[in-house]
C-alpha cells in the first residue's frame, strides 16, 4: 500500500511532502502499532469497518475496509454470556440482527446469550439482503481478517482487561493493535498488564485539565475526541501532553480536511475511501 508522509506547517498553512513509502500494513517492521500511531501523515480509520458499504462490525465490512486502504480498522466488542469477546456495537441485539424475530421480545441484551446462540443470528440482512446470513464475528476472527492488510483499533465496550490482554498475547498481537475505550480505568488495567500495548482514551465534551490529568494516569498515547467537541485548541492541548489526537466520527470531507489542517493525527470515519481522497487532495502540493 502506498502511503503519504506529510510535513505539517501550522499557522493555517499545511505543506506537503508526499513521498511513496513502503510502510504498508502487514510488512515486517512497519506493522507495529507504535510505529503506525507515530506516523506524521494523518491516519484514516474505518469506523466499525467500511460501514457504509457492508454491515457494521462484520467480516465483510472489515475486508472492505482493508481493501479501501484504511490505516486502521475500528471495531467494538462485548462478551457473550459464556465469556467470549464478540464484535458488536450495541448492548442490545435488536438493531442489527434478527434476534427479535427469531426469539421474540425486544431489547435483548447480547450479554444474555452464549456464543452458540449468537451464531444463529443474521447480522447482515438489516443492512442489505445481499449480506443475508452474515454472522456476528468473534474478536479473534475479526483480528484475523483485519490484521491481514491493516491494523485493528479495538474498542472495548464491555469486558475485563485480563481477557483482552490474554487474547492479544495468545495471538501475538500485543504490539500490533490499538485498544481504546471510554472507560479509562479499563485502559489503566490493560496498561498494568501490558505496558507496551498502545492505548487510546475516548471522550467528548470539554477537554478540561482534570480530564487531561486523568488521561495521563492511563498510559494512553492517543486521545480520541468527539468531533463536535473538537477544535484546534483541543488538538493543541492533546499535543501539549505528547499524545496523538484522533477525532470521531467524521464523514464530511470538508470537516476532515479542516481537522487535519488543525493538526488532527487520525480521522475515524464511516467513509474511509472518500475521506482519504479528500484529505490527500487537500494536502497535495499545488
Ligand atoms: O472510535 C470511536 C467511536 O467508535 C466511539 O463511538 O458509539 O461509534 O462506538 P461509537
Ligand atoms: Ca466504536
Residues with CB under 6 A from ligand 1: 47, 74, 76, 89, 155, 202, 224, 248-249, 268
For residue 76, give the ligand 1 atom closest to its CA. Answer: 9
The rounded distance, in Å, linking the Cα atoms of 262 and 84 is 40
Cα 66–chain centre separation: 13
Rounded distance, CA 26 to CA 144, Å? 12
Ligand having the closest approach to the CA of 76: 2
Asked if the bond preceding 249 is cis, omega within 30° of 0, the reply is yes
Bridge pairing between strands 152-156 and 198-203? unpaired
- Cα 182 to ligand 1 centre (Å): 9
Please give the radius of gyration of the chain, using alpha carbons only, rounded to the nearest integer: 19
Measured from the Cα of 268, ligand 1's closest atom is 1
- pTM of the entire structure? 0.91
The pLDDT, as a whole number, for residue 286 is: 85
Among 155, 180, 181, say which to mutate for ligand 1: greatest number of ligand atoms within 8 Å of CB.
Answer: 155
Q: Which DSSP category does 91 fall into? A: S
Q: How far apart are CA 139 and CA 164, in angstroms?
A: 10
| Nearest Cα residue to atom 7 of ligand 1 | 89
Q: Tell me the best of 248, 264, 265, 268 to mutate to test the pocket of ligand 1, counting ligand atoms within 8 Å of each CB and taking the most.
A: 248
pLDDT of residue 22: 29
Q: What is the pLDDT along the chain (286 residues), one digit of tens a residue?
A: 334 333 333 222 222 222 223 233 334 334 899 999 999 999 999 999 999 999 999 999 999 999 999 999 999 999 999 999 999 999 999 999 999 999 999 999 999 999 999 999 999 999 999 999 999 999 999 999 999 999 999 999 999 999 999 999 999 999 999 999 999 999 999 999 999 999 999 999 999 999 999 999 999 999 999 999 999 999 999 999 999 999 999 999 999 999 999 999 999 999 999 999 999 999 998 8
What pLDDT score was predicted for residue 31?
Answer: 83
Short-list 253, 249, 241, 197, CA closest to 215: 241
Q: Which ligand is nearest to the CA of 202?
A: 1
| Residue 157 alpha carbon, nearest atom of ligand 1 | 9
Domains recognised in the chain with CATH numbers: 3-88+137-283 (3.20.20.190)
Furthest-apart CA atoms within the chain: distance in Å: 59
Query: 74: closest CA among 34, 44, 39?
Result: 44
Amino acid at each position: 500500500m502506498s502511503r503519504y508522509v506529510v510535513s505539517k506547517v501550522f499557522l493555517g498553512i499545511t505543506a506537503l511532502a508526499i513521498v511513496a513509502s513502503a510502510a504498508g500494513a502487514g510488512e515486517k517492521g512497519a506493522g507495529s502499532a507504535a510505529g503506525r500511531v507515530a506516523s506524521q501523515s494523518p491516519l484514516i480509520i474505518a469506523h466499525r469497518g467500511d460501514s457504509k458499504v457492508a454491515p457494521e462490525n462484520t467480516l465483510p465490512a472489515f475486508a472492505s475496509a482493508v481493501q479501501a486502504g484504511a490505516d486502521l480498522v475500528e471495531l467494538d466488542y462485548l462478551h457473550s454470556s459464556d465469556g467470549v469477546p464478540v464484535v458488536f456495537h450495541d448492548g442490545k441485539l435488536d438493531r442489527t440482527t434478527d434476534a427479535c424475530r427469531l426469539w421474540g421480545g425486544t431489547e435483548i441484551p447480547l450479554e444474555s446469550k452464549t456464543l452458540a446462540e449468537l451464531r444463529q443470528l443474521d447480522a447482515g440482512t438489516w443492512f442489505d439482503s445481499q449480506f443475508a446470513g452474515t454472522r456476528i464475528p468473534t474478536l479473534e476472527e475479526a483480528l484475523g481478517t483485519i490484521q491481514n492488510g491493516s491494523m485493528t483499533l479495538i474498542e472495548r465496550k464491555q469486558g475485563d482487561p485480563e481477557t483482552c490482554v490474554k487474547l492479544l498475547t495468545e495471538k501475538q498481537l500485543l504490539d500490533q493493535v490499538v485498544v481504546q475505550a471510554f472507560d479509562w480505568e479499563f485502559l489503566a488495567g490493560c496498561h498494568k498488564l501490558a505496558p507496551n500495548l498502545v492505548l487510546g482514551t475516548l471522550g467528548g465534551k470539554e477537554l478540561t485539565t482534570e480530564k487531561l490529568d486523568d488521561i495521563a494516569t492511563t498510559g494512553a498515547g492517543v486521545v480520541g475526541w468527539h468531533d463536535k467537541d473538537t477544535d484546534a485548541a483541543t488538538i493543541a492541548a492533546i499535543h501539549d501532553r505528547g499524545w496523538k489526537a484522533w477525532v470521531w466520527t467524521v464523514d464530511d470531507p470538508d470537516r476532515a480536511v479542516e481537522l487535519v489542517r488543525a493538526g488532527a493525527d487520525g480521522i475515524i470515519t464511516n467513509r474511509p475511501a472518500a475521506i482519504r481522497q479528500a484529505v490527500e487532495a487537500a494536502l497535495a502540493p499545488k
